Amino acid sequence: MTDDKIDLNKLSTLPPDDVKEKEIREKTVELLQQLKDFQAKLYAQAKYAVLVIIQGMDASGKDGAVKNVFSGVNPAGCRVKSFKVPTEEEQKHDFLWRVHRECPEKGMIQIFNRSHYENILVPSVYKLLDKDVIKKRFGAINAFEKLLKDHDTIIFKFYLHVSEKEQLERINERLTDPMKRWKYQEEDIVETRHREEYMRIYEKIFRDCNEVPWTIVPSDKNWYKNYCILHTIVKELSRYDIRYPHEY
Amino acid sequence: MTDDKIDLNKLSTLPPDDVKEKEIREKTVELLQQLKDFQAKLYAQAKYAVLVIIQGMDASGKDGAVKNVFSGVNPAGCRVKSFKVPTEEEQKHDFLWRVHRECPEKGMIQIFNRSHYENILVPSVYKLLDKDVIKKRFGAINAFEKLLKDHDTIIFKFYLHVSEKEQLERINERLTDPMKRWKYQEEDIVETRHREEYMRIYEKIFRDCNEVPWTIVPSDKNWYKNYCILHTIVKELSRYDIRYPHEY
C-alpha cells in the first residue's frame, strides 16, 4: 500500500511551465460566471448539496481561495465555516459533531476553511492521541463522507500546496503589511517548524481518506490556485443534472 | 401619535422623476466596491457587527436585493438567513429565540430575509393572537434591537415598497417563466389579497418599532431598489471608524 503514497516534496507548488498567466486569468473569469450559474440552479433545484473542503498549511492561501473563488456567488446559497481550535463545548463531543452540524442541506454550497482533517493533523504532529485513536478517526471520516455522498452531497477536497519559501515570505508579510497584520499569530511561526511532519500526515490522509479523492493544488501563485479550484468544481458539477426544476 | 404615521399609499414605489437610470447604475458599481472594502475591514477589525433586515411583501424583490447587493462580498464575512414558517421546535420557544441565534458576531455582516417582524405581521393579519400579546411583541423587539445596538451591531431595516400592479405581474411571471417557476407558491396569491391589511400593520411597525429607523425603498424598479439599499448602507458605515486594526 505504501507504494501508492503521494510524495508532496516531489509535487510542484508552481504552475506548469507551458501555462500562460493571461490565458488562465481569462478562463478564470469565465469559470466564475459558470459557478455563479450553477449556484443559482443548485439552489432552485435543491437536489444536490455541495461541500468544498479547503485544507493547507498556514499561509497556503485558504482565505484568499474562499474570497476569490466564491465572491460573486449569491450569499443566500453559499456559506463559509472556518474551523478554529475546538471550544470547550465542542471538545466534549466526538470530533465530527461540530462538523456535521455545518454540513450543507440540499441546494446549498458550504465551504469548510479547515475541517475534520485538523483532528487528524494536529494530534498526530503533537502526539496528543494514541495511534489507534487516530486510526479510528480515519475510518470515521470515511464513513462520514460516504454518508454525505449518499445524501447527494457533492464533495470537493482541496489541499493547497505551497513551498516553504513562499510560506515563510507570506508569514513575514503579515508582520510588515498593515492590511495583513491582523492575520498574524505567533503559532504561525511555530507551526512552520513542523512543516515536514504535517506533510507526512497529509500524505497518509491522501492515501487513507480517499472516499472522496483529493485535489492537490499548486498554490505558490494565487492566480493558478484559484483557477485550479474553480476548474475542478465547474468540471465536476457539469457531470450532474443541475438545472431549474421546471426547465426541460 | 397617529399623526406621525406613515401612509404607504402616499409613498411612491417608483424612482423620483429626476433620476437617470444610467447614472444610478454607474453609482451602484462604485457603491458595490465600497461595500466590498468595508466588509474586508469589518472582518479584520472585528469591532462592529452589521445586521441587514429586509422586509416586504411577496414578490417585492427581497431575494433579488440579497443577490444583487451582496454578491461580490466575501462570503467568509457575510451570511444570509431566510426565515420561513417556524418549525415545530422553533414554535416551542419565544418568537425571538430563532432570530437571536442568527445574529452576527463582531466582524460579520448578517442579512435577514424576513425576520422577527413576520411574528407581528402574520398574527395581526390572520388574527392568530390577542392584541395585547402582539403589543408585547413590539416592546420585546425594541428591547432586542437595543441589546444588539449596545453590542456594537449596526442595524439596517429596509421595507421594499412595490405597487400592487408590479407585485401581481411578478407573481404571474413566476407561473410562466421556467427560471422563476420554482419560487411560486399558492400562498403568494392568497397573501396579495391581504395587501392593504399588511400595509396597515407595517405602518404601525414603522411608528412603534423605531429603535432603529426604517428605510422605505421604492422597489418597482430593481436598479433603483438595489441602489437605495447600497447607498443607505455605505453612507451609514462611513460614519463609523471601520479600518484594518493596524492601519493608522
Average pLDDT, chain A: 95
**Chain B residue nearest residue A44, CA to CA:** B182
ipTM for the assembly: 0.89
- Interchain CB distance below 8 Å, A181 and B66: no
Instruction: Choose from B182, B183, B184 for mutation: most chain A CBs within 10 A.
Output: B182
Q: What is the pLDDT of residue A18?
A: 96
A59: left (phi > 0), else alpha (psi -120 to 50), else beta? left
Chain B residues in contact with A73 (beta carbon < 8 A): 71, 75
B72, B75, B248: residue with CB nearest A78: B75
Question: Which of B138, B177, B165 is closest to B57 using CA atoms?
Answer: B165
- CB count, 10 Å around CB of B166? 18
DSSP A90-119: HHTS-TTHHHHTTSPPTT-EEEEES-TTHH
Burial string for A52-63 (b: 16+ CB within 10 Å, else e) reads bbbbbbbbbbbb
Contact status of B178 with chain A (Cβ, < 8 Å):
yes
**Chain A residue nearest residue B73, CA to CA:** A71
The SS3 of residue B160 is strand
For A121-140, write each residue's pLDDT tens digit: 999 999 999 999 999 999 99
For A164-190, write each residue's pLDDT tens digit: 999 999 999 998 888 888 888 888 888
B45, B75, B179: residue with CB nearest A244: B179
Q: What is the pLDDT of residue B116?
A: 98
For A61-74, write each residue's pLDDT tens digit: 999 999 999 999 99
Chain B residues in contact with A76 (beta carbon < 8 A): 63, 66-67, 80, 82, 111, 113
Stretch B50-73: mean pLDDT, rounded?
A: 96
Strand order in the sheet with A49-56: A78-82, A109-113, A49-56, A153-161, A214-218
φ, ψ of residue B84 to 5 degrees: the values are -105, -170
Q: What is the pLDDT of residue B219?
A: 98
For A13-64, write each residue's pLDDT tens digit: 999 999 999 999 999 999 999 999 999 999 999 999 999 999 999 999 999 9
Provide the shortest C-alpha distance from residue B72 to chain A (in Å).
Answer: 4
Stretch B42-54: mean pLDDT, rounded?
A: 97
pLDDT band at A5 (very low <50, low <70, confident <90, very high): confident
DSSP label at residue A73: B
Judged against a pLDDT cut of 50, whether residue A2 lies above it is answered with: no
Q: What is the pLDDT of residue B113?
A: 98
pLDDT band at A234 (very low <50, low <70, confident <90, very high): very high
- Interchain CB distance below 8 Å, A246 and B78: no
Q: What is the pLDDT of residue B9?
A: 95
Judged against a pLDDT cut of 60, whether residue B1 lies above it is answered with: no
pLDDT band at B248 (very low <50, low <70, confident <90, very high): low
For B109-165, write each residue's pLDDT tens digit: 999 999 999 999 999 999 999 999 999 999 999 999 999 999 999 999 999 999 999
DSSP label at residue A87: P
Percent of chain A past pLDDT 90, that is, above it, reads: 89
Task: Using the structure block, give the residue that is written with the C-alpha cell 498554490.
Answer: A219
Lowest mean pLDDT among A177-191, B84-98, B234-248: A177-191
What DSSP element (H or E) covers B26? helix B21-45
Interatomic CA distance for residues A24 and B245, integer angstroms? 34
Question: Which of B36, B62, B2 is closest to B222 using CA atoms?
Answer: B62
pLDDT band at A3 (very low <50, low <70, confident <90, very high): low
Which ranges of A5-85 would DSSP assign to H, the alpha helix?
Answer: 21-45, 62-70
How long is chain B? 248
